[in-house]
Chains A and B, each alone.
Chain A
Amino acid sequence: MNPAAHAPSPLLPLTYLLTAAAAFLLAALAVPWLAADLAGHYYHPRILALTHTVTLGWITLTIMGASYQLIPVVLERPVWSERLARWQYAAFVAGAIGVVGHFVIAEWVGFVWSAALLSLAVAAHVLNAALSVRGLRRWTFTARLVALALVGLSLTALLGGALGLDHVRDVLPGGFFANLHAHVHLALLGWVLPMVIGVAARVYALFLLAPEPGGRGGAVQLWGLALGVPATVLGIALESRLVIAGAVAVAAAVLAHLIWIVGMVRGRRRPALDWGLRFVLAGAAFVLPAAVLGLALAAGVASGPRWALAYGVVVFGGWASLTIAGMMLKIVPFLVWYRAYAPLVGRAAVPTLTQLGWPAGERAALALLFAGIAGLAAAVGAGDPGWIRAAGLLLAAGALVFAVALARVVHHLVPCPMRTVPAAGRAAGR
């Protein structure tokens, strides 16, 4: 097969990533407005809408879009069908809007139809990714974790749809909240965690200019998730003590992942960290409190909706969101540069990736988001609407600056005869 015949289009992942960034901005702007709701129980229509704007619109859409760039780079396989990926995008966005919208109005029949559309998009993604990696010569650590994540995504979508259907017809055995918690943990531990851990092993090393990690840490992560996630999810759904064994296995995997990150940072040849990498490392800093909170909730040391909501903020807002935002600050400039400037390399002066970015804005976004998320976790834990609103304002400001930083990169795609390459990229010395 001629690989060039299946050359990746930068516009495909960019479409996903920029839509995801818009969802992140929308969710962050909604937090101060939902401060009173966030001080109460998490099973509230507007909180469910906010949560799914983050998990579907921001996190899942980013991972799906990034997959269509990272499959060629990390797994060295062309995307099987970009046309299917475009249909998937349309179905996913329509389904996610339907799910979030029907949560807001608490209308379950429409919700089920939206969830069905979303499941169709998920099936398209799983099919596309599976056929892309079909025939892979070496099943690396990253490839195995991606496969694990795709199984987790499929099961999360199925259980989510079944939970919605359960409102219309009684289809699920067991307690409603037990099933809801199982769905949340399937999404977090079965889909997001293995995808991030798998991609990090290859991509963090690439960006840090560090040797790829190896050794027993890989087996701990792989088996920790392969055994720990089913145990945790089943333990939650069946309300059994199995959940503690599962949580310990997942925590071991997370710890091994952290050790790998520290090793890569220490062994890096890159002299200075850019802001994308600092976002990623700031996200990793949330892993430890997330693991401690998760273990405490599993063991019953901590309980109740406030602790659960604080755990959700630390995990989805802190670890996942900062990690994803950092990856976006690495991936989006590359895609824009590739689209706008790669054809000019060797023929004209082109800017570097660094020159496409906005370091001052990225620094401000990181500071605001970090403070906002940490503050929000504490505020929802305390159940104080005033503090939630204050932390939400920081978060919203950070998301706004982040969106502007991305927009400054993306504007390089707009054809403009007046725009030249940044001054520092021109022939210098005269």
Chain B
Amino acid sequence: MTAALQMGRGRPTEARMRPSRRLHPGASVAQASISFRPAALAAIPEARHVHLDVRADIRRGGEPFARIMSAVKALADDQALELRVPFEPIPLYGVLGRRGLAHWAESRAADDWSAWFYRDAGAPGASASAGAAAGAAAAPAAPRTVTLDVRGLEPPLPMVRVLERLDVLGAGEQLEVIHSRRPLFLYPQLDERGFVHETDEPEPGVVRIVVRRGAA
């Protein structure tokens, strides 16, 4: 997770639902909050904000992904999660966006970011999901492929990232995992959860695993 977050600094791999806001050096969070905070987030009272600070974890070399996902799972519809991280957590935007969470981020200092995740019924991602579901009901279509690149992560993080992503895999979706090796420890977990998978090696050193839900 840490590595993925760091690799994702400044080069988002998935479409953002909301633009992030970087403050100019010296600008205060309060100023930014007053000026730019999205209406849906501003409407959530401070008492309904859940705070999670993972800066110390990341600086120690720890992996806070499980903590973040646990906090997200426990998040009520009327709550917002404020995540404190030492850099902008760009890869999380796509992951949590697919869970229907909009995001907004601001920089307090060069190594201190706050990112809020909250539900916004009017967000493009939410309507897109609804539209996709409606389309899927009307006519069977080719599965939408979601790509997850887990190269450069230390075990067992590739497995954690894949299983976390599969947990929220939509009915019309398949997951394409880009790995640096054949994950022999992952396959039993996929089988046990009823997923089917195919592995190929499109080029030396790159392994692709396509995972989709098995027939019920």
Contact = CB atoms under 8 A, between A and B. Distances in A.
Interface of A: 3-4, 6-8, 72-74, 76, 78, 138, 206-207, 209, 269-274, 334, 337-338, 342-343, 345-347, 349-355, 424-430
A3 B183 CA distance: 9
Given A274-B61, A346-B167, A425-B66, 7 more contacts: A6-B184, A7-B187, A270-B3, A273-B61, A352-B66, A427-B70, A427-B73
Contacts of A337: 156
Interface stretch (B30-38, B120-128, B189-197): B189-197
Interface in B154-190: 154-156, 159-160, 163-164, 166-167, 181-182, 184-185, 187-190
A84 B6 CA distance: 43
B52 interface: yes
B187 A4 contact: yes
Contacts, number: 113
A355 B60 CA distance: 12
B62 interface: yes
A296 B124 CA distance: 72
A73 B81 contact: no
Contacts of B71: 427-429
Contact of B192 (A274, A343, A424, A425): A343
Given A269-B3, A269-B152, A342-B159, A4 B63 contact: no
B187 A428 contact: no
B67 A272 contact: no
Contacts of A271: 2, 6, 58-59, 61
B50 interface: yes
Contact of B159 (A74, A206, A207, A345): A345
A428 B57 CA distance: 13
Contacts of A426: 67, 70
B61 A272 contact: yes
Which of A7, A78, A138, A270 has the most chain B CB atoms inside 10 A of its CB? A7
B70 A338 contact: no
A106 to B, nearest CB: 46
Interface in B83-130: none
7 contacts: A3-B184, A4-B188, A345-B164, A346-B163, A353-B156, A426-B70, A428-B70
Given A7-B185, A209-B3, A352-B62, A429 B190 contact: no
Interface of B: 2-3, 6-7, 50-52, 57-64, 66-67, 70-71, 73-74, 81, 152-156, 159-160, 163-164, 166-167, 181-182, 184-185, 187-192, 199, 204
Contacts of B60: 272, 354
Given A349-B66, A354-B63, A78 B184 contact: yes
A207 B153 CA distance: 9
A147 to B, nearest CB: 19
A274 B57 CA distance: 13
Given A7-B187, A271-B2, A209 B67 contact: no
A78 B199 CA distance: 15
A3 B182 CA distance: 9
A69 to B, nearest CB: 9
Contacts of B181: 73-74, 76
B189 A352 contact: no
A163 B84 CA distance: 64
A428 B62 CA distance: 15
B6 A269 contact: yes
A111 B154 CA distance: 44
A4 B167 contact: no
A3 B190 CA distance: 12
A26 B199 CA distance: 45
Contacts of B57: 424
Contacts of B187: 3-4, 7
Contacts of A428: 52, 67, 70-71
A346 B186 CA distance: 13
B124 to A, nearest CB: 26
A272 B58 CA distance: 9
B213 to A, nearest CB: 14
Contacts of A352: 62-64, 66
B155 A429 contact: no
B82 to A, nearest CB: 8
Given A7-B184, A78-B184, A269-B6, A346 B63 contact: no
A353 B71 CA distance: 19
Given A271-B2, A272-B59, A424 B154 contact: no
Nearest to A355: B62
A334 B58 CA distance: 19
A205 to B, nearest CB: 10
Given A269-B3, A271-B59, A425-B67, A345 B184 contact: no
Nearest to A202: B181
Contacts of B6: 269, 271
Nearest to B201: A137
Contacts of A72: 184-185
B63 A430 contact: no
Contact of B156 (A8, A272, A334): A334
Contacts of B163: 342, 345-346
B81 A429 contact: yes
Which of B50, B51, B70 has the most chain A CB atoms inside 10 A of its CB? B70
B199 A3 contact: yes
A73 B182 CA distance: 8
Contacts of A270: 3, 61, 154
